[in-house]
Amino acid sequence: MSTNNSFNPFRMAQEQFDHVADLIGLDQSTKELLRVPMREYHFSIPVKMDDGHVKVFRGYRCQHNDARGPAKGGIRFHPQETIDTVRALSMWMTWKTAVVNLPLGGGKGGVICDPHNLSMREQEQICRGWVRQIAKNIGPVSDVPAPDVMTNAQHMLWMMDEFETIHGGRYPGFITGKPVGMGGSLGRTEATGYGVVYTIREALKELKIDPKSTTASIQGFGNVAQYAIELYTQLGGTVIAVSCWDQKDQTSYTYKKNDGIELKGLLEITDRFGGIDKNKAQDLGYEILDGDQWIEQEVDILIPAAIENQVTGETIQKVSKKVKIIAEGANGPTTPEADAVINERNIFIIPDFLANAGGVTCSYFEQVQSNTNYFWEKEEVLGKLDTKMTTAFIAVNELVRSKNLYGRDAAYVIAISRVAQAVKDRGWV
Ligand code: NAD
């Protein structure tokens, strides 16, 4: 694993923003408005623990921008959560909803806690406490939360129940990522991974490469990676390596098979956190390499789909000359130093906030279904998802071609221009 203690995601998000703001000549007031969240809430959540003592957890919500519609973004439970991570992620959500042209803004929330060490009752109390602290400042028409790192459908349901208790009504559109049958959408589980592959499919068309002739290496084997592998394999591609975190050894490993990993078999030996059983993988004939080696594989496509800050100035030097596409399933996997090299080497980048926008797009579909209380079939959801992702990809790609822009810059130009236009049209600047 590549780690860098001085890595600050908010600085990186601002650096990316400043670069494009200058590129499009954004005026000073709009720049000032968009380079920080419009609103952020910091609060304490007292929770009576199972042993009777009260522990105070720290919670956050940032609403980066809501000019195009209600803020939208997940809530993370993480022991190393920081306000700067939440700020950065809220900003990236604004660009993500804008680049796929959803009528939504960007938000993010978090609680500093480690669910591994909390009972379900304690987790429920944190969820309810988080909502109580912020219930007046979020809601279906202002800010709509969702699951994120270490939060799931059950957490969303507790939060919805608390919100409805406070406001006295049924508001399923308050939150997304709910269980199917309780206001959730079919297709949400697949949405992010499939979305990544819809964009890869379009990139391969652009490069005139047959997916069947391609190979890929992936960092991560969780929700995003698993469904990306499923669809990419259906298109005829071959995944030769995946990398994931080993909880027991507290390190990561790359699992490699030259003739292609077998998804179903690997899933049978994977825990719910996306960790593969090393010994069983060895029995199945996988070569076990260092965690970092996913990036060194001689493949056509690299898909970082685990954590941030992985494709760096250092690791990019190890990327094979064969690599033609980097599709960012994870949020913030690539640093600006690595971007410079990717651009110079003419590798086709599908930036995070475009590549992994399938998740929020499906969350938007969930909001629409919840608000109308009418639920669609899975095929309808996935069909609409494909249309949205493909349309967004084509718009970005046309800008790449017509203005000879780097892929990440082109996606930013579209997203930032849309948000800047909205704040201008509203008369905010
Ligand atoms: P997940 O928790 O289901 O899986 C994460 C995977 O990454 C696991 O396989 C884990 O073992 C692996 N991992 C963790 N640290 C690692 C390391 N150092 N080296 C190698 N592997 C490591 O998470 P997910 O939902 O698949 O999300 C993955 C990324 O995609 C995150 O950056 C997330 O923010 C982003 N994302 C997810 C969604 C979504 O809908 N799930 C949407 C948009 C973006």
- One DSSP character per residue, 193-225 reads HHHHHHHHHHHHHHTT--GGG-EEEEE--SHHH
Farthest CA pair distance, the chain: 64
Average pLDDT in the 163-184 region?
A: 96
Per residue in 311-329, pLDDT (tens digit) is 999 999 999 999 999 999 9
Q: CA-to-CA distance for 5 and 338, rounded, in angstroms?
A: 17
Question: How much distance in Å is there from the Cα of 330 to the middle of ligand 1?
Answer: 6
* pLDDT at 52 (0 to 100): 98
Q: Is residue 321 annotated as part of the catalytic site, yes or no?
A: no
Ligand 1 pocket: which of 2, 247, 296, 307 to mutate (most atoms <8 Å of CB)?
307
Nearest in space to 111 (alpha carbons), one of 39, 43, 63, 36: 43
Q: Hey, where are the domains in the chain?
A: 37-170, 190-355
| CATH tag, 37-170 | 3.40.50.10860
- CB of 222 shorter than 6 A to ligand 1: yes
pLDDT in tens, 345-371: 999 999 999 999 999 999 999 999 999
Task: Specify whether the CB–CB gap between 195 and 356 falls below 8 A.
Answer: yes
Contact (Cβ atoms closer than 8 angstroms) between residue 139 and residue 145? no
Measured between alpha carbons, how far is 213 from 208 in angstroms, rounded to an integer?
11
How does pLDDT run across 207-236, given as a tens digit for each residue? 999 999 999 999 999 999 999 999 999 999
Out of 3.40.50.720, 2.30.22.10, 3.30.365.10, 3.40.50.300, select the CATH number for domain 190-355: 3.40.50.720
CA of 163 to the centre of ligand 1 (A): 28
Residue with token string 């236009």: 421
Residue 300, amino acid = D
Could you tell me if the CB of 275 is within 6 A of ligand 1? Answer: yes
pLDDT at 2: 39
**SS3 of residue 404 by DSSP:** coil
Single out the residue of 80, 19, 8, 23 nearest to residue 403, CA to CA: 23
Torsion (CA) 290, 300, 234, 219 in degrees, nearest 10: 30
Q: Is the CB of 123 under 6 A from ligand 1?
A: no
Ligand 1 center to 53 CA (angstroms):
33
382-407, pLDDT tens digit by residue? Answer: 999 999 999 999 999 999 999 999 99
**Which whole number is the average pLDDT over 404-421?**
97
Helix (H) / strand (E) containing 301: strand 301-304
Nearest one of 295, 337, 301 to 318, comparing CA atoms: 295
Calculate the average pLDDT of the chain.
96
Residue 90: which of 103, 109, 70 has the closest Cα? Answer: 109
For ligand 1, whether the C-beta of 306 sits within 6 Å is: yes
- Give which of 130, 142, 38 is closest to 90, Cα–Cα: 38
User: What are the pLDDT digits (tens) for 138-164?
Assistant: 999 999 999 998 899 999 999 999 999
Strands 301-304 and 325-327: parallel
Closest residue by CA, ligand 1 atom 29: 330
Distance 222 CA to ligand 1 centre (A): 6
**What is the structure's pLDDT at 340?**
96
Query: From the CB of 305, is ligand 1 less than 6 Å away?
Result: yes
E-strand stretches of 95-226: 106-112, 143-147, 215-219
**pTM for this one?**
0.95
Pocket test of ligand 1: the residue of 152, 192, 196 to mutate, having most ligand atoms within 8 Å of its CB, is 192
Confidence category of residue 111, pLDDT binned at 50, 70, 90: very high
Reported as a single tens digit per residue, the pLDDT across 114-146 is: 998 999 999 999 999 999 999 999 999 999 999
**Does residue 310 have its Cβ closer than 6 Å to ligand 1?**
no
**Choice from 7, 102, 244 to test ligand 1 binding pocket (greatest atom count within 8 A of CB):** 244
DSSP secondary structure code for residue 36 in this structure: S
Structure tokens at 8: 């600050």
> Which residue type sits at 323?
V
Atom of ligand 1 nearest to the CA of 244: 21
Do 243 and 255 form a contact (C-beta atoms < 8 A)?
A: yes
Ligand 1 centroid – CA 307 distance (Å): 6
Answer whether 217 contacts ligand 1 (Cβ < 6 A). Answer: no
Q: Of the listed 72, 96, 108, 324, which one is catalytic?
A: 108
Residues 6+ away with beta carbon under 8 Å from 360: 72, 73, 93, 96, 97, 100, 102, 104, 146
Q: From the CA of 368, how far away is ligand 1's center (Å)? A: 26
